[in-house]
Homo-oligomer: A and B are copies of this chain.
Amino acid sequence: MALRACLRTKPGLTGLLSQLSSCSSHGAARMSPALVAQRRSSSTSQKIKVDFDQSTGVAVMRMQSPPVNSLSLEFLTDVCIALEKLEMDKSCRGLIVTSSQPKVFSAGLDILDMYGKSPEHCVEFWKAVQEMWLKFYGSNMITIAAVNGSSPAGGCLLSMTCDYRIMADNPRYSIGLNETQLGIVAPFWFKDTMINTVGHRTTEMALQLGLLYSPAEALKIGLVDQLVPEDQVLTTATETMTKWLAIPDHARQLTKSMMRKPTIDKLTSNREADVSNFVKFITKDSIQKSLGMYLEMLKRRKA
C-alpha cells in the first residue's frame, strides 16, 4: 500500500507492480515448477538482477546501478518491487543481497533526490526509503548481506536490515552511518536499527561522529558478523544460508518478527510525521547548501 503510494508519480511502474502483485497473489505454488523456474530466472529491472534458484529456495539480488548503487527513488522502487515479488513466493526462503558494482555495496541514499528537488519529490523519495527499510527489516525470508564493497549511510542501513552480514576483508572498504559528516541526521529508525545491531553506546558515538569503520573495526563492534577474502563473499553467504535454511521457517519467522516488531511498529505508526520531519529538514536552505557543497566536493574528487 505504502509502496503504491510512493509510486503515485510513476504510472508506468505502478502498472508493473499491479501486474506482479496479481501474478504473485495467484501464487507460484500453483504453477508448474518449470514455469516458475523460467519466471524466476528473469531479472526484474535493469538496475537489479535477481536470480532465484528453485532447487535451494534461495534468491540472489545483485544491485547493478552504476556507478555506486545509489539508492535513488527509481532504484528503491525497483528493489521494493523485486523484494515484494520474492516475499510473496512461498518457495523463496532466503535472499542474498550483493553488488555487481566494483568496490561498493551501496553508496547510500541518492543525494540528487534530496538536492534542489520539490518538497513533493522529497516526500515520494522518503516514503520509498521507509518502504525499503520496512520490507527488508520485516522480511519473512532469511536475508544475508554479502557486503562486497563500501557501504556508507543508506548502504549500511540496508545491510543492517539483513539477518547476517558478511563483508569483504579489504581495508579500503568502509561501513557506517556517516550522516553527520554531511551535516544531516540519521532518522530514529536508522538509529534504532543500529542500536539493535551494535548496542546503545557504540551507536551513540558512531552516529555523533558519523564514523565509517574498516571491515576489521566493523567486525569488532558487531556491525558485520564475518569477514572473508573478497572473492569468497558470495560463496560464504551461500554456505551460511544453508545453515539458516535448516531451521523450520515457521518458528524462525515468528522469532524474527518477535525480535523486530517493536522497532518496525515505531516507524509504522509514525510514518507521516517522519516524512514531514525529513522534508522540513532537507529543504532548509542551510541543509541544501551543505548538500550542494558536498556534491561539489564529489565532483572535484572525480576530476
Contact = CB atoms under 8 A, between A and B. Distances in A.
A198 B195 contact: no
A208 interface: yes
B205 A164 contact: yes
Contact of A204 (B184, B195, B196, B203): B196
Contacts of A225: 205
B179 A251 contact: yes
Q: How many copies of this chain does one complex carry?
A: 3
A259 B180 contact: no
A interface bracket (residues with beta carbon within 8 Å of B): 35 or more
A198 B222 CA distance: 13
Contacts of A254: 185
A38 to B, nearest CB: 31
Given A180-B248, A180-B251, A196 B185 contact: no
A225 B258 CA distance: 27
A243 interface: yes
Given A196-B204, A199-B199, A183 B255 contact: no
B247 A180 contact: yes
A142 to B, nearest CB: 8
Contacts of A164: 205
A244 B182 CA distance: 14
A204 B250 contact: no
Interface in A200-225: 200-201, 203-205, 207-210, 222, 225
A41 interface: no
Contacts of A290: 248
Interface in A156-197: 163-164, 179-186, 188, 191, 195-197
Given A199-B199, A208-B163, A183 B259 contact: no
The 3 closest A-B pairs by CB, nearest first: A180-B251, A183-B248, A185-B254
Given A179-B251, A197-B201, A199-B201, 16 more contacts: A163-B208, A180-B252, A180-B255, A182-B251, A185-B251, A185-B255, A188-B258, A191-B255, A196-B200, A200-B259, A204-B256, A208-B244, A208-B247, A208-B255, A210-B247, A248-B290
